[in-house]
Amino acid sequence: MTAQVPANSAPTKKYTLHFGRKAKLFLGYVCLMVLPFLATYALDMQEKNTYAAFVSLFNTLAMMMFFIQFPLGSRLKSIPLFANIDWNMSHHKKVGQWLGVIFLLHPLLILMPKFAMSQTDGMRAIMEVIRAPQMLTGIIAWVGMIVWILMSIFKDRLPMKYETWRFTHMLGFVAIAILATLHVTTVGQHGQFGGWYNEIWWGLCSFSVLMVLFNYFVKPQIMKSNPFKLTSVQQVSSSDWEVTMDAGAGSDFDFEPGQFVWFNTATSGGVKEHPFSIASSRSSLPNVSFLIRNLGDYTSKLGELKVGQDVFVDGPYGSINLSDTKKSKGVVLIAGGAGIGPMLSLLRGLADSNEQRPVRLIYGNNRADQMVLQDEMKALESSMANFKQQLVCMEGCEGAYTGVIDQAIIKEVMSDENLKDWTVYLCGPKPMIAAVNKSLKALKVPRRNVHFEQLSF
Ligand SMILES: Cc1cc2nc3c(=O)[nH]c(=O)nc-3n(C[C@H](O)[C@H](O)[C@H](O)COP(=O)(O)OP(=O)(O)OC[C@H]3O[C@@H](n4cnc5c(N)ncnc54)[C@H](O)[C@@H]3O)c2cc1C
């Protein structure tokens, strides 16, 4: 996937999960999931009794679920089934946790009939499994899977950098995919049939490994062939930077307000990329700007970047889109901290299109000195037909609500309006998104009218 959108294509399609699309996606995933199990029937390999058939279905579905994790974790926006990157990332995580439980159950389900006979038979079967040399690949894959899933669940608490975790995550699951495929194709009832059935699993395994190799080694090279140039880095609040880059005069890079990219400022490319939402609107192209909060080892060093240096950009991605507002009577933008970037992009997009409907921005931060670009906000309040900003902060906030963005504040800002006819966009850290979503639910705002981006996967 390159950093550029083909010249003749529209900006990235919107993949709102309304019913029709949701149903199609569901059908697509179900078809993919049951393929290997159906193959057992096509190849006349079906099990003899109901329990064995159940275990076989369980195992083949679990393996398919595992292989689908690879495209979910990649950025395959050209394949419709995997095009909604935000949805993919959140489901990659959820499905991963379920896989942990399912793979934990895998040996138990197989050994259960032995334990049903007697505890001695059960224990003997366990010892046979442990001692059998051909079981080694399966045992390593099983232990590896559990450990790697636990490492993913607790990644924020591990004493390692995100980039190190990500590389370990990738390498570990490639090894587990190969070991698990060896296990499936060499032991168990299905493995003994060989032939086409084993080729299906090796095909899926090779495809998954190739996808990882493409993402880590080929894609960075493609991105390097089309670099953006850094044009400015400015501190715009006590904790935020505005980073601007130029896609180049002849560039066909395009995006929808609200979308994000991964960018990499390291000359070596590779895994040192970070996701950031675009804060500018399309009228600024070929310049693209970002509002970035100093939150860690990379974002604290943005001031060291050199104007004129190359930046490698992969994107745009993300399904937030202004066309979601088509039928609404007004637009509410709710930003928490670093979430102001995509909200500002939407606001600037609305200003560019001379929006006549009411637009409200509720912008929250811990401290007043973290509010960015207040001169521009005030100018937009004067120039736009009906735009108002409401600041919310915990301390030192003159003319702002004191506290966090909660139900009371949203209700007060929207006092005369019927929120259920409005579109709400929301961006911020995960706990803030959860709290505001709860408030919106209590205010009876329909879920379909709320579009959010949380600043972590
Ligand atoms: C879709 C999306 C859009 C985002 N948009 C913005 C934005 O507009 N402005 C902004 O300030 N921040 C944004 N972020 C958050 C930003 O990506 C992280 O704050 C940044 O990557 C932290 O890097 P660090 O090394 O400084 O901090 P660290 O201390 O290394 O990491 C802090 C946390 O950020 C996450 N993180 C770190 N590196 C990465 C990475 N390479 N990829 C994914 N997550 C990572 C991890 O969960 C980590 O716990 C966005 C995140 C996502 C997922």
Nearest CA to ligand 1 atom 29: 296
CATH superfamily of 228-317: Translation factors (2.40.30.10)
In angstroms, rounded to a whole number, what is the distance separating the alpha carbons of residues 402 and 130? 61
- Give the SS3 label for residue 44: coil
In angstroms, rounded to a whole number, what is the distance separating the alpha carbons of residues 424 and 332? 5
In angstroms, rounded to a whole number, what is the distance separating the alpha carbons of residues 168 and 147? 12
For residue 75, pLDDT beyond 50: yes
Decide: 319 and 15 in contact? Cβ < 8 Å: yes
Which of 101-115, 172-186, 262-276, 380-394 is predicted with the least confidence, judged by mean pLDDT?
Answer: 262-276
In terms of pLDDT, which residue wins out, 270 or 72?
72
Q: Which string of DSSP letters, residue by residue, matches 371-382?
A: ---HHHHHHHHH
In angstroms, rounded to a whole number, what is the distance separating the alpha carbons of residues 85 and 264? 18
In angstroms, rounded to a whole number, what is the distance separating the alpha carbons of residues 258 and 246? 18
Shortest-distance atom of ligand 1 to CA 341: 8
pTM for this entry: 0.86
In this prediction, residues 336-361 reach a mean pLDDT of 95
Percentage above 90 pLDDT, the chain: 48
What pLDDT does 228 receive? 95
Q: For 189-245, write each residue's pLDDT tens digit.
A: 665 566 777 888 999 999 999 999 988 888 888 888 889 999 999 999 999 999 999
For residue 151, pLDDT beyond 50: yes
At residue 291, what are phi and psi to the nearest 5 degrees? -110, 120
In this prediction, residues 337-342 reach a mean pLDDT of 95
For residue 19, pLDDT beyond 60: no
In angstroms, rounded to a whole number, what is the distance separating the alpha carbons of residues 236 and 395? 19
In terms of pLDDT, which residue wins out, 75 or 228?
228
Nearest CA to ligand 1 atom 31: 296
Which of 25-39, 126-140, 430-444 is predicted with the least confidence, judged by mean pLDDT?
Answer: 25-39
In angstroms, rounded to a whole number, what is the distance separating the alpha carbons of residues 357 and 329? 6
In terms of pLDDT, which residue wins out, 126 or 195?
126
What pLDDT does 296 receive? 86
In angstroms, rounded to a whole number, what is the distance separating the alpha carbons of residues 445 and 21? 22
Which of 102-116, 267-281, 369-383 is predicted with the least confidence, judged by mean pLDDT?
Answer: 267-281
What pLDDT does 11 receive? 43
What pLDDT does 10 receive? 40
Sorting pLDDT into bands at 50, 70 and 90, what band is 270? low
Percentage above 70 pLDDT, the chain: 91
What pLDDT does 3 receive? 37
Shortest-distance atom of ligand 1 to CA 337: 11
Shortest-distance atom of ligand 1 to CA 340: 8
Shortest-distance atom of ligand 1 to CA 163: 41
Sorting pLDDT into bands at 50, 70 and 90, what band is 432? very high
In angstroms, rounded to a whole number, what is the distance separating the alpha carbons of residues 223 and 3? 6
β-bridge partners, 263: 274, 313
Shortest-distance atom of ligand 1 to CA 292: 11
For residue 13, pLDDT beyond 50: no
In this prediction, residues 63-77 reach a mean pLDDT of 89
What pLDDT does 38 receive? 76
Decide: 225 and 260 in contact? Cβ < 8 Å: no
From the CA of 332, how far away is ligand 1's center (Å)? 25
* Helices 195-213/50-73 angle, 10° precision: 20
Which of 206-210, 397-401, 446-450 is predicted with the least confidence, judged by mean pLDDT?
Answer: 397-401
For residue 5, pLDDT beyond 50: no
- Let me know the angle formed at the C-alpha of 428 by 400 and 321, rounded to the nearest 5 degrees: 110
Which of 19-33, 138-152, 354-368, 407-421 is predicted with the least confidence, judged by mean pLDDT?
Answer: 19-33
In this prediction, residues 336-344 reach a mean pLDDT of 96
As a whole number, the mean pLDDT across the chain is 87
In this prediction, residues 157-177 reach a mean pLDDT of 92
Q: Which of 156, 233, 299, 370 to mutate to test the pocket of ligand 1 (most atoms within 8 A of CB)?
A: 299
From the CA of 340, how far away is ligand 1's center (Å)? 14
What pLDDT does 195 receive? 72
In this prediction, residues 391-402 reach a mean pLDDT of 83
All residues at 6 or more sequence positions from 20 whose CB lies less than 8 Å from its CB, including other chains: none
Q: Which fold has domain 322-454?
A: Rossmann fold (3.40.50)
Q: For 352-383, write each residue's pLDDT tens digit.
A: 999 999 999 999 999 989 999 999 999 999 99
In terms of pLDDT, which residue wins out, 57 or 271?
57
User: Which residues form the pocket of ligand 1, taking CB atoms under 6 Å from any ligand atom?
Assistant: 156, 161-162, 260, 273-277, 290-293, 295-299, 338, 341, 453, 455-457
In this prediction, residues 136-161 reach a mean pLDDT of 92
Shortest-distance atom of ligand 1 to CA 342: 8
Decide: 126 and 111 in contact? Cβ < 8 Å: yes
From the CA of 294, how far away is ligand 1's center (Å)? 10
Q: Taking Cα atoms as reference points, which of 152, 455, 429, 445 lies closest to residue 318?
A: 455
What pLDDT does 451 receive? 92
Cis peptide bond N-terminal to 316, omega within 30 = yes
Q: Which of 289, 300, 455 to mutate to test the pocket of ligand 1 (most atoms within 8 A of CB)?
A: 455
Sorting pLDDT into bands at 50, 70 and 90, what band is 174? very high
For residue 350, pLDDT beyond 70: yes
Nearest CA to ligand 1 atom 20: 274
Nearest CA to ligand 1 atom 4: 276
What pLDDT does 282 receive? 95
Q: For 27-60, write each residue's pLDDT tens digit.
A: 888 888 888 777 776 666 555 677 877 888 888 8
Q: Taking Cα atoms as reference points, which of 289, 298, 341 lies closest to residue 320?
A: 341
Sorting pLDDT into bands at 50, 70 and 90, what band is 327? confident
In this prediction, residues 62-80 reach a mean pLDDT of 88
In terms of pLDDT, which residue wins out, 148 or 117?
148
